[in-house]
Chain A
């Protein structure tokens, strides 16, 4: 085009420049947006090893360790689980009901229970063992997963179809990766504490799960029987939090003496 324009004088060039400048400043803006995001990431990566490097606090004496356990129930009529339509992908032959509220005969599953308060400044070693998230039948297993900050999460695809795994965190770095059938497991971790961090698949928009990232190993997820158990706690005053993806959070205080074994039951209502 260049050789065509020389005739037409200044009008063209100024206009062209204006347009170019417009586009450029727009791109610059977009880049800025992008860079500010990236900065967060590197900051996060810089801080997390520092945290890990801190040595764990004085070990907890197993002889005095206490246990808290209980049952989480759902009060009132349990809503009928919604049906999922998986017909968009023939490879999906999963259990096609939603897991938003799973309450068999009133026992509420998939409630994340953790010690929210009472551990003070104590720090804990991160387990070397990863936790596993499996994609099978175009659903996530488990539906709610607890993990420690910095602990590895192994993400597997056991389906004959491609998934994408997309966590949408508030305080951690966001990412989105696809995983074809038979691909190697993904190894991921989150650097910051975040309760019920949503994870979803955009290929199969019904696929949703939640990861709860905590700094202590004192957490549990209720099973189909609504039961949970948290072992190995040093004696002390604690606040337990119970979090359900739809029904919200509740807290309960509990005082544990040495070798105590206490029961804390809780009921959720819609």
Chain B
């Protein structure tokens, strides 16, 4: 697939990076809604206080909820643009589909956001909204990655993977345990589950991610595209464990009697959600780079598909 070379399109790539960054801001804005218990401060959807465009007085919970909705609309717009842009200018057909997938995900995410408001934040819907948010973030990061100059122009430095289990297996396992951690974390955060599955799974995440990044660094530190995400993943993991501990202390240990969401628990939980999103995206990038540079274990499963020339 990579052989169908696409010229580097700087504007397209920068726009994709901007979309991914905006999505990260949106995740923080969303986490602020949850941490401030402001999810129902605007009771209606798709309107806000009965209006599609009027900006309400941004005080109290509305400040968080409505700001989140506005940033979400903005990111939705960016996604529409990037999907169309990709569809029209990309030569790689799978990239066109990725653009469409991004659009579909953002629409589903918006609908989930609305549904959770209309059904008064049921834990499964709120958690699905939290999990799909990070999924969308990963897609946005991937689009930015695939349109980047390194991806498009560089000839990948390919090495054979000798390890067992293979590095690609480890990176996929990392993504899997992170997803489990995200889902049980979200279920706990949205009052649908006890805290212990999340805390019990945390050492599991720590072990798998450490194993993966150490293995990557040990064998392939010469390859920058692998070294960088591996180092970042390790650093983020340590930060995330500390933040998780802080979130637990401020929200569960001290905060269970709080009369309102207090600043330390808002900051620690929002940071924990944000770093969680970065960690998941980093794991996805690492997996993709491993697949690109150390492809052995994966080669057989690449389907040989006939490609018709679309260069019209």
- Where the two chains meet, the residues of A that have a C-beta atom closer than 8 Å to any C-beta of B are 1, 4, 7-9, 11, 15, 19, 23, 26-27, 30, 33-34, 37, 82, 84-85, 88-91, 98, 100, 161-162, 164, 166, 168, 174, 176-178, 180, 201-206, 208
| A143 CB, nearest partner CB in chain B, Å | 12
Tell me how many residues of B have a C-beta within 8 Å of chain A: 41
In the complex, which residues of chain B have a beta carbon less than 8 angstroms from the beta carbon of A84? Answer: 259-260
Q: How far is the CB of B262 from chain A (nearest CB, A)?
A: 8
CB distance from B174 to the nearest CB of A (A): 25
State whether A33 and B125 are in contact (beta carbons under 8 Å apart), knowing that A7-B308, A84-B260 are contacts in the complex.
yes
- Minimum Cβ distance to chain B for residue A174 (Å): 5
- Contact, CB under 8 Å: A205 / B261: yes
Task: Determine if B156 is an interface residue (Cβ-Cβ < 8 Å).
Answer: no
Which residue of chain A has the shortest Cβ distance to B262 in the bound complex? A85
Residues A178 and B43 in contact in the complex (CB < 8 Å), given A19-B104, A205-B36: yes
State the 7 A-B residue pairs at the shortest beta-carbon distance, nearest first: A203-B60, A206-B260, A202-B41, A98-B259, A202-B40, A89-B59, A203-B61
Report the minimum CB–CB distance from A91 to chain B (whole Å).
Answer: 7
Residue from the list A4, A30, A176, A205 in contact with B120, Cβ < 8 A: A176
Q: Is the CB of A205 within 8 A of B43?
A: no
B contact residues around A168 at 8 Å (CB): 120
Bound-state Cα–Cα, A102 to B143, Å: 56
Asked if B305 is at the interface of the complex by the 8 Å CB criterion, the answer is yes
A contact residues around B115 at 8 Å (CB)? 30, 34
Further pairs besides A23-B104, A202-B39, A205-B36: 18, Cβ < 8 Å:
A1-B87, A8-B93, A19-B100, A33-B124, A34-B119, A88-B59, A89-B60, A91-B59, A161-B60, A162-B57, A164-B61, A176-B40, A178-B42, A202-B40, A202-B65, A203-B59, A205-B260, A206-B259
Distance to closest chain B CB from A245 (angstroms): 12
Interface residue SS majority, chain A:
loop
A-B contact pairs, 9 of them (CB 8 A): A23-B108, A82-B257, A164-B61, A166-B120, A178-B41, A180-B49, A202-B37, A203-B60, A206-B260
List residues of B whose CB falls within 8 A of some A CB. Answer: 36-43, 49, 56-57, 59-63, 65, 87, 93, 97, 100-101, 104, 108, 111-112, 115, 118-120, 122, 124-125, 257-261, 305, 308, 310
Asked whether, in the complex, the Cβ of B41 is within 8 Å of the Cβ of A26, the reply is no
**B101–A19 contact, CB under 8 A?**
yes
Q: Do residues B43 and A100 form an inter-chain contact, with CB atoms below 8 A?
A: no
Report A-chain residues with C-beta under 8 Å of the C-beta of B42: 164, 178
A82 touches B61 (CB 8 A): no
With A9-B308, A176-B120, A204-B61 already in contact, the answer to whether A85 and B260 are too (CB < 8 A) is yes
Give the residue of B62, B120, B308 whose beta carbon is less than 8 angstroms from that of A203.
Answer: B62
Output the least CB separation between B102 and chain A (Å): 12
- Contact A7 B310, beta carbon cutoff 8 Å: yes
B88 to chain A, nearest CB (A): 9
Q: Is the CB of B259 within 8 A of A82?
A: yes
By beta carbon, the residue of chain A nearest B261 is: A205
Q: Nearest residue in A to B56 (C-beta to C-beta)?
A: A162
CA distance A174 to B43 in the complex (A): 12
A85 to B59 Cα, complex, angstroms: 14
Contact status B259-A164, CB under 8 Å = no
A161 vs B100: C-alpha distance in the bound complex, in angstroms? 42
Q: Which residues of A contact B124 (CB under 8 A)?
A: 33
Q: Shortest distance in angstroms between A93's beta carbon and chain B's nearest beta carbon?
A: 13
Between B39, B56, B120, B260, the greatest number of chain A beta carbons within 10 A of the residue's beta carbon is seen for B260
Which residues in A have their C-beta under 8 angstroms from that of B65? Answer: 202
Min C-beta distance of A170 to chain B, whole Å: 13
